């Protein structure tokens, strides 16, 4: 029984890794090889010539950088403004508090895809199409982040907040040096999810950007995949190059990422 379990586990794991291994192996093959059977993919000659070519003749690295820049900006600002908003909703007893909360909650029901056409028109009217602002700004208001962070802020006892206040701390200090540190894991997990979401965002950049200096990876990659002459090596080199940075990040932050996902899952 035990060995069966083990074998099945290994087979499943193999199928999860196989595409990525195949991608890596194909990417170091020579262009124009004859492939008749599976083994041909895994035998020499190998060559890094295509890597050279792609790196020197395309903007792939530039787009990777764009993807990172956009994702980093989106992450920082999304989490920052969501934290501020959810702090207000959770801890400041202002008028219309419940109205604001429902106003944000309603946003959960509006999927980005459903407003993408009017959003295009709005961005056009604001003159931010085809710019970094246009890539970043529309992504910043995340009702999900507000709702999730609010539930974490709610978890901080009011007594604690009040006792700090008695010591003379201002609201900013409460937010900055009490609330944020206490909810750091939640903030981190929100940040990670936002980052991955932005990294994968396709539809909006695809519609809003026409200048190839502003492309992010998801929209840049298809432009490199020539519809004729579908050699396998080039596409796999492109895939590999654009995945390496994020894979590396993943390896470094795996623990935090895993923790982050499980946290939001429980609250969400």
Partner 1 sequence: MRRKFGLILVTLMSLALVLGACGASNTGSKTSDGAENTTSAPGSDSGSGKKVTLSFWTLFSGGDGDNMQAMIDEFNKTHPDIQVKNTKLEWGEYYTKLITAVGNGNGPDVGISHTSRLPDLINQGVVSELDDVAQAAGVDWSSYNSNLLNATVVDGKHYAAPIDTHPFIMYYNKKLLKDAGLLGDDGKPVMEQSADGFVAFLEMLKQKLPSKVTPFALSNTNDDPYRLWWALYSQLGGNDVISDDLKKAALDADKGAKAADYIQKLYSNGYIKKNDPDFYKNFQSGTAAIMMTGVWATGTWEATKDLEFGAMPIPKIFDQAATWGDSHTIILPVAKKEDPDKAKAAMIFADWLASNGQTWAKAGHIPSKPSVLEKQEFKDLPYRSDYASVADTVKFNKPSTKNWQIRDNALFKYLNEVWTNKMSPADAMTKMQDAIQKVLDE
Partner 2 sequence: MRISKLRADLLALLFLLPFVVIYVLFTIWPMIKGVEMTFYKWTLIKKMSYVGWDNYNRMLHDREVWEAIWHSTFFVILTTPTMIVLAIVLALIANRKSRLQKLYRTVFFIPSVLSVAVASFLGLFIFQPYMGFVNTFLHWIHLLPESSEIFWLTETGLSWVAVAVITLWWTVGFNFILYLSAMQEIPDEINEAARLDGANNWNIFWNITFPHLSPITKTITMLQIISSFKVFMQIYIITGGGPLDKTRPIIQLIYQTGFRKNDLGYAATMSYVVFVILLVLSAVQYWINNRKEA
Chosen from partner 1, partner 2, none, partner binding at 35 (C-beta under 5 to 8 Å by type): partner 2
37, 56, 98, 229: which one binds partner 1 (CB under 8 A): 229
Q: Which residues ranging from 233 to 262 are in contact with partner 1 (CB under 8 A)?
A: none
Q: How many residues bind partner 2 (CB under 8 A)?
A: 97
- Interface positions, 77-116, toward partner 2 (CB under 8 A): 80-82, 84-85, 87-89, 91-95, 97, 100, 104, 107-111, 113-116
Q: Which residue has the tokens 């989106």?
A: 74
Applying CB under 8 A, among 9, 43, 200, 226 the residue interacting with partner 1 is: 226
Residue 77 and residue 136 in contact, taking contact as beta carbons nearer than 8 Å? yes
Give the binding range for partner 1 (CB under 8 A) out of 5-13, 47-55, 76-84, 256-264: 76-84
Element (H, E) at 150: helix 143-154
CB 174, min distance to partner 2, A: 8
Using alpha carbons, select from 116, 111, 108 the residue that is nearest to residue 206: 116
From partner 2, partner 1, none, which one binds at residue 268 (CB under 5 to 8 Å depending on kind)? partner 2
Rule CB under 8 A: say whether 165 interacts with partner 2. yes
Q: What angle do CA 59, 64, 69 make, to 5 degrees?
A: 120
Burial per residue of 234-243, b for 16 or more beta-carbon CB atoms within 10 angstroms, e otherwise: bbbbbbbbbb
From partner 2, partner 1, none, which one binds at residue 210 (CB under 5 to 8 Å depending on kind)? partner 1
* Distance set, CA 228 to CA 32, 88, 144, 223 (Å): 14, 55, 42, 12
How far apart CA 154 and CA 76 sit, in angstroms, is 22
Task: State the binding partner of 60 from partner 1, partner 2, none, CB within 5 to 8 A by kind.
Answer: none
173 counts as binding partner 1 under rule CB under 8 A: yes
Among 80, 141, 164, 188, binds partner 1 (CB under 8 A): 80
Could you tell me which residues come within 8 angstroms of residue 208 by beta carbon, excluding any fewer than 6 positions away? 120, 123, 129, 130, 134, 135
Distance in angstroms (rounded) separating the CA atoms of residues 223 and 16: 27
- Work out whether 44 is an interface residue with partner 1 (CB under 8 A): no
* Count of residues touching partner 1 (by CB under 8 A): 36
Residues 43-63 as b/e (b if ≥16 CB within 10 A, e otherwise) read: eeeeeeebbeebeeebebeeb
Residues making contact with partner 1 (CB under 8 A): 32, 34, 77, 80-81, 124, 126-134, 136-137, 170, 172-173, 175-177, 207, 210-213, 222-223, 226-231
């Amino acid at each position: 029984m035990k060995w069966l379990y083990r074998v099945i586990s290994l087979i499943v794991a193999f199928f999860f890794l196989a595409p990525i291994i195949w991608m890596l192996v194909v990417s170091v093959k020579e262009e124009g090889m004859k492939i008749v059977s599976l083994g041909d993919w895994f035998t020499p000659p190998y060559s890094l010539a295509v890597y050279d070519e792609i790196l020197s003749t395309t903007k792939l690295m530039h787009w990777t950088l764009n993807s990172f820049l956009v994702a980093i900006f989106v992450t920082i600002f999304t989490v920052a403004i969501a934290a501020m908003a959810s702090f207000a909703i959770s801890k400041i007893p202002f008028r219309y508090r419940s109205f604001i909360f429902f106003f944000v909650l309603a946003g959960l029901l509006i999927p980005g895809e459903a407003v993408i056409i009017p959003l295009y028109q709005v961005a056009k009217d604001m003159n931010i199409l085809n710019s970094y602002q246009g890539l970043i700004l529309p992504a910043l208001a995340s009702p999900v982040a507000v709702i999730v962070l609010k539930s974490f802020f709610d978890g901080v006892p009011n007594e604690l907040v009040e006792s700090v206040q008695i010591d003379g701390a201002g609201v900013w200090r409460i937010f900055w040096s009490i609330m944020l540190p206490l909810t750091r894991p939640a903030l981190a997990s929100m940040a990670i999810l936002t980052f991955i979401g932005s990294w994968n965002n396709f539809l909006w950049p695809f519609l809003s950007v026409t200048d190839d200096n502003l492309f992010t990876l998801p929209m840049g990659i298809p432009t490199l995949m020539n519809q004729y002459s579908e050699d396998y090596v080039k596409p796999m080199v492109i895939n590999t190059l654009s995945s390496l940075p994020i894979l590396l990040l993943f390896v470094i932050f795996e623990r935090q990422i895993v923790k982050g996902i499980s946290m939001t899952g429980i609250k969400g």
